[in-house]
């Protein structure tokens, strides 16, 4: 199990470190061009390829989608109340504290803990979180929500197309799938290197600026886990599904939250600092599940 975790996490931290070096030595990550490339091309291709590669029945998929939506709603309500009590702008911080890194972190961790049979279930949860990034996340950070913009949103269109193709049992030609795979493969490396660049260029004036990022680093995994446990009390799942659901909800702050904060001028530096700190807490939760 620890070898699988190492195999998943060493590349992740290596890309963050590479991004930190490049961010200090080059101007590769200046501006919003890379973020736009990831959100408009890379993520839609990655999601469509992932949905079409899944092997599960529609009933399992629907139940996981529904319970994940319920979890997002409850987690958002709890987090909004916490942020108001702490005096933070809710719209700026809500997406980062609600959305876990279920993709490039959660999926590998579920594989390490539960084996290859967990991948499809973990990917369904991750897909719902991705939709929430581009609805709840963008709606909060841009201070507006447009149904027309949602309908035109690349990841949402990709997931709708994938669901339609699955429902009609339509198989895309192998060259098309290969193209989607290649386009989607640019997404995670760019996101991780952008994160490393932002961390390397943080400018903190003192220890007080670390206080809230540290607190948020504990809040995101532990509150996510607690809300997931509460939801499961009222909506029990099978043992395997419940374990995957709990682990995914306990993942750290998502790299996508940082990418969207950069694009919409949110608190990108605070989020960038929170991500690696929350990874440590999430790993402790994952290890607890493995014992």
Position 19 in a domain: no
Position 72 in a domain: yes
Position 173 in a domain: yes
Give residue 61's domain range.
2-8+31-192+211-290
Residues 6+ apart with CB under 8 A from 172: 52, 165, 180
> Which pLDDT tens digit goes with each residue over 151-208?
667 777 887 788 788 778 788 899 999 999 899 888 778 877 877 777 776 665 555 5
Copy the structure tokens of residue 186. 């640019």
Position 187 in a domain: yes
> Which pLDDT tens digit goes with each residue over 115-152?
777 777 887 888 889 788 877 887 787 766 666 656 66
Q: What local confidence, expressed as pLDDT, does residue 5 receive? A: 64
Position 58 in a domain: yes
Position 128 in a domain: yes
Q: What local confidence, expressed as pLDDT, does residue 242 receive? A: 92
Position 47 in a domain: yes
Copy the structure tokens of residue 156. 């949402």
The CATH number of residue 175's host domain is: 1.20.1530.20
Q: What is the number of domains present in the chain?
A: 1
Position 17 in a domain: no
């Amino acid at each position: 199990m620890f070898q699988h975790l190492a195999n998943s996490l060493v590349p992740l931290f290596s890309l963050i470190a590479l991004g930190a070096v490049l961010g200090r030595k080059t101007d590769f990550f200046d501006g919003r061009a890379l973020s736009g490339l990831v959100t408009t091309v890379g993520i839609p291709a990655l999601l469509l390829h992932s949905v079409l590669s899944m092997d599960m029945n529609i009933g399992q998929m629907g139940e996981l989608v529904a319970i994940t939506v319920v979890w997002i709603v409850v987690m958002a309500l709890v987090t909004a109340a916490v942020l108001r009590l702490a005096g933070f702008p809710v719209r700026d911080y809500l997406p980062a504290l609600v959305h876990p890194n279920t993709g490039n972190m959660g999926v590998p961790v579920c594989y390490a803990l539960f084996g290859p049979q967990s991948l499809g279930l973990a990917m369904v949860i991750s897909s719902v979180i991705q939709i929430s990034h581009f609805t709840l996340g963008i709606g909060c950070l841009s201070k507006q929500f447009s149904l027309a913009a949602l309908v035109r949103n690349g990841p949402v269109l990709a997931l709708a197309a994938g669901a339609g193709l699955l429902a009609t049992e339509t198989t895309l030609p192998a060259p098309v799938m290969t193209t989607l795979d290649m386009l989607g493969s640019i997404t995670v490396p760019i996101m991780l290197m952008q994160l490393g660049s932002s961390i390397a260029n943080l400018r903190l004036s003192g220890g007080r600026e670390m206080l809230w990022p540290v607190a948020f680093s504990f809040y995101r995994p532990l509150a996510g886990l607690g809300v997931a446990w509460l939801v499961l009390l009222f909506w029990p799942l099978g043992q395997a599904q419940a374990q995957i659901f709990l682990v995914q909800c306990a993942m750290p702050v998502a790299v996508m939250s940082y990418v969207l904060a950069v694009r919409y001028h949110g608190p990108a530096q605070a989020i960038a600092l929170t991500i690696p700190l929350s990874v440590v807490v999430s790993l402790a939760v994952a290890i607890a599940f493995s014992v």
